[in-house]
Amino acid sequence: MTLHLDLLRHGETELGGGLRGSLDDALTVKGWEQMRAAVIERGPWDRLVSSPLQRCARFADELGVRLNLPVTLEKDLQELHFGAWEGQSAAKLMETDAEALGLFWADPYCFTPPDGEPVEQFSNRVRGAVSRLHQAYTGQRVLLISHGGVMRLLLAQARGLPREQLLNVEVGHGGLFSLQVEANGVLREGA
C-alpha cells in the first residue's frame, strides 16, 4: 500500500537565511504566515509529523490543535547538521571558505562541511524515518513539517535526479509538495 506524504518546509526564521542546520531558531511573523498560507484548502490529513526543532514543531502543534489531529515529533527528520558552517550564509562562506563550499555545492555526497554530518548518513537517517512512517501509517495521508534539506533529498529521489544535483532542487520557505511512498521504498512526486 501507499503512504501519501505531503512535505511542508518551515517558514522564514528569526535568525535569517544561511545554513540553519540544527540551530533551533523561531519563526518570524512572516514565517508563520508562509506556513499558514501553504496549508489553506489543502489536506485533509490523518496526522501530522514534524521535526522537533521549533521552527517546525510549533506550527505542527498549532495546526494539530486547529485540525484536531495528532502530532508526532520525529528527530530523524531534522535538517542536515552543517558543523562549523551552521548559522553562516553562503555569501559569508564564499569569503572565508570558498573552495570547500564549492566542493560541497558540486557534490554534497563527496564533501562534508567541517565537523558536519555526511550527506550519506543524513540520507540514511531521513530514508529510515520515511520507511518507519510508511510502516506505521500506510494508507493514510500525512503532513510532514520539516526542512529544506530533508525535502530536497526526498524530492530529488522521487524525481530520479543524480545525487550531485541534490542542492539544485528548489524548496522555498512554506513550500508544500506531495509524495507517494510505496512499500518497496520507491518515492513518486504527486498526490
More confident residue, 190 or 81: 81
User: What does the pLDDT read at residue 3?
Assistant: 97
pLDDT band at 17 (very low <50, low <70, confident <90, very high): confident
More confident residue, 17 or 107: 107
- For residue 59 the three cell numbers come to 506550527
User: What does the pLDDT read at residue 16?
Assistant: 76
Domains in the chain: ranges and CATH: 3-189 (3.40.50.1240)
Mean pLDDT of the chain: 95
Q: What is the DSSP letter of 68?
A: T
The average pLDDT across 145-155 equals 97
User: What does the pLDDT read at residue 165?
Assistant: 92
- 73-78-83 Cα angle (round to 5): 145
Tell me the pTM.
Answer: 0.95
Determine the angle formed by the axes of helices 29-39 and 54-67, rounding to 10 degrees: 50
Residue-wise pLDDT for 81-139, tens only, equals: 999 999 999 899 999 999 999 999 999 999 999 999 999 999 999 999 999 999 999 99
Residue-wise pLDDT for 52-75, tens only, equals: 999 999 999 999 999 999 999 999
